[in-house]
Structure 1
């Protein structure tokens, strides 16, 4: 039954509401794959259909050559780890892990359960009860209980959501290590961009039941296909611009009377566009300072806020047309920070630009973040 997980034309409707809309998706065998998107985008419904907890309204689901579209959950080579862990409180940690093995009639339960506990580095807690463990330890036990059955696919439904930030980051590293060790296909559902980018080989960004973009985390971040992806995956400055011409491999754009360049392969074909650049790609210099030849520059900015974040300083820069752009400057200790009111020039490499058509506010989760996108 080994092979890729394939969803073909999969839709799920609840009455008139379309939760998943004609999804075509192939998840390579042995990969760590993330379904990323905001609440209500269809990612959890997709996971539940793979698990057999929901039946598709249309389409098929295959694991290798095996059609599991209408197969009962317990008949599928799939296990799920939920956010609430769902451990049996009356059983020891060892018995929690061994539970599935015993149900399947496995003879050498002790060896396999012990190996699974060692995999998550909690073998020394085998005799304890779940209530005696921390949240992070319970999460690892839930993972061991799922992995011990060696499913073809392991589904992770927001498994780190209940953990605090520091523990969540530790567990991101642990999950990736475990996936690499056991070689099972992991499908991870999350709304946390950092989680998806830290762990997954490939990420599918979902919106309104469809996939907006699919690819490696770096590809999605550096070259988003839509304004939704640009805003949802990290943070972007989006500035209204119009197509002006071409210059070799580059397209020239005009934005508020100033010209900039973007790689033509990163520019949508429409005449009216949104010039995009990530905050950490921008360099701030005092207004009179000369910038490097060949860089994109926007002049006339003025710092209206500087927030010290430790690793970096976040600047809000108000441009002459009234839009506030965000800049992250790494704190290298080699230059003074810009004070509020400082007149500045923004510059960045043309290769760090992208130009998209669409809604500048698409994918913005927090209303306060609207300051950082184009104002209509």
Structure 2
């Protein structure tokens, strides 16, 4: 697909947006490489949609720049920017058929011969033969494809996606995640996708930026962010983590010794964001394994004893909560692979992990564990 203007990376430089005394986006600087699928991930109120709206021209920055290649588009009207947006509400015209909905942007620009481009776009989104139907005759997923085709037919340099799958059911949402990635790969346009859904971001995006309070907490490839989070916020927003309040003694050879709740552990140096002072010792629930006796723990694994307080079967896995002797609950996900046994609630277990799968994060002095909330009733844990 040919662009109408010289292409280039999308760059946000010192971008800030204030609403009165509230700062929605705070001095944001990042680069979205041309042709990439980029996701802005964060909770409601983190500034991700405001950022998207400034790129689209629907909000004017308080300060900073939006650059496309070498061109500053910060003060251009939305219709003058080589950018299109697909919103969660598809906003299709109910009185127009699908072909005319897709052709709308071209018609507005005075282009008469649109049939060939419309057919190409409908084929791209796998809606061949749907051109004469009305929006009301289509499912939610099909309407989402029409909105996508309507945006793509304008040949934008950047396509902005504002929670476009939020109105779909789970199965259809997952199908559309795969479809959106296929389409982005085929057309080669820069996609910037705003979402609060971690799975959605990780499934589709080449690069994910996790936003919090108007700033980027961490940016990188999905696997990098998940396996090597930079902050406690990222560790618990992108998936779940068991974060134990610990003290690090500084590197000792290839490892960093840490002490947590009177027990000694260690983490490889290359898995430590900080190696001295207050830290969080982190382990993902799927990397935490359960044994019913200490002699079942593999050599080299580190472990803590506990009691199972909850077991939830969710099909692909069983999710356990393990109450430790100091009162925190750890999450452990056991894959439903047909190997291993189920552990009933009340079972005494040993939660263990390979230290190569743990990580250390910064912790403010005085902060406690960041795990599952404590139970109201105490549970006796064997020593």
**For the superposition of Structure 1 and Structure 2, which TM-score range results when normalised by the shorter chain?**
over 0.9
Q: Quick one: distance in 2 between partners of 1:321 and 1:210?
A: 35
Q: Quick one: distance in 2 between partners of 1:193 and 1:286?
A: 33
Q: Tell whether the 8 Å contact from 2:140 to 2:168 is kept in structure 1 after alignment.
A: yes
SS in 2 for 1:33: strand
User: Which moves more between the two structures, 259-268 or 93-102?
Assistant: 259-268
Q: CA deviation at 1:244?
A: 3.2
Q: Tell whether the 8 Å contact from 2:251 to 2:275 is kept in structure 1 after alignment.
A: no
Q: Which runs of 5+ in 2 are unaligned?
A: 1-5, 376-383
* Partner in structure 1 of residue 126 of structure 2: 121
- C-alpha root-mean-square deviation of aligned residues, in Å? 1.7
Does 2:220 correspond to 1:215? yes
* Partner in structure 1 of residue 3 of structure 2: none
Q: Quick one: distance in 2 between partners of 1:369 and 1:155?
A: 35
User: Which moves more between the two structures, 254-263 or 94-103?
Assistant: 254-263
Q: Quick one: distance in 2 between partners of 1:225 and 1:101?
A: 45
Pick one of 335, 342, 349 that aligns with 1:344: 349
Q: Tell whether the 8 Å contact from 1:196 to 1:203 is kept in structure 2 after alignment.
A: yes
Q: Tell whether the 8 Å contact from 2:245 to 2:363 is kept in structure 1 after alignment.
A: no
Q: Quick one: distance in 2 between partners of 1:161 and 1:258?
A: 44
Q: Tell whether the 8 Å contact from 1:51 to 1:76 is kept in structure 2 after alignment.
A: yes
* Partner in structure 1 of residue 190 of structure 2: 185
Q: Tell whether the 8 Å contact from 2:297 to 2:352 is kept in structure 1 after alignment.
A: yes
Q: Tell whether the 8 Å contact from 2:12 to 2:29 is kept in structure 1 after alignment.
A: yes
Does 2:287 correspond to 1:281? yes
Does 2:154 correspond to 1:149? yes
* Partner in structure 2 of residue 139 of structure 1: 144
Q: CA deviation at 1:270?
A: 4.3
Q: Tell whether the 8 Å contact from 1:35 to 1:189 is kept in structure 2 after alignment.
A: yes
Q: CA deviation at 1:343?
A: 1.5
Q: CA deviation at 1:288?
A: 3.5
Structure-1-length-normalised TM-score? 0.94
Q: Quick one: distance in 1 between partners of 2:226 and 2:339?
A: 28
SS in 2 for 1:69: coil
Query: What number of residue pairs does the alignment pair up?
Result: 367
Q: Tell whether the 8 Å contact from 1:30 to 1:183 is kept in structure 2 after alignment.
A: yes
Q: Quick one: distance in 2 between partners of 1:26 and 1:246?
A: 34
Equivalence map 1:1-376=2 (5 Å)? 1-267=6-272, 268-298=274-304, 300-358=305-363, 369-371=372-374
Q: Which runs of 5+ in 1 are unaligned?
A: none
Deviation per residue, 1:90-120 (Å, 9 max, x gap): 1000000011112223353111111000001
Q: Tell whether the 8 Å contact from 1:43 to 1:189 is kept in structure 2 after alignment.
A: yes
Q: CA deviation at 1:243?
A: 1.1
Q: Residue 14 and residue 122 in structure 1: after superposition, are their counterparts in 2 closer, same or farther (change >3 A)? A: same
Q: Residue 361 and residue 40 in structure 1: after superposition, are their counterparts in 2 closer, same or farther (change >3 A)? A: farther
Q: Quick one: distance in 2 between partners of 1:314 and 1:153?
A: 40
Q: CA deviation at 1:143?
A: 0.3
SS in 2 for 1:131: helix
Deviation per residue, 1:281-304 (Å, 9 max, x gap): 011111233422222222x21111
Structure-2-length-normalised TM-score? 0.92
Q: Tell whether the 8 Å contact from 2:16 to 2:28 is kept in structure 1 after alignment.
A: yes
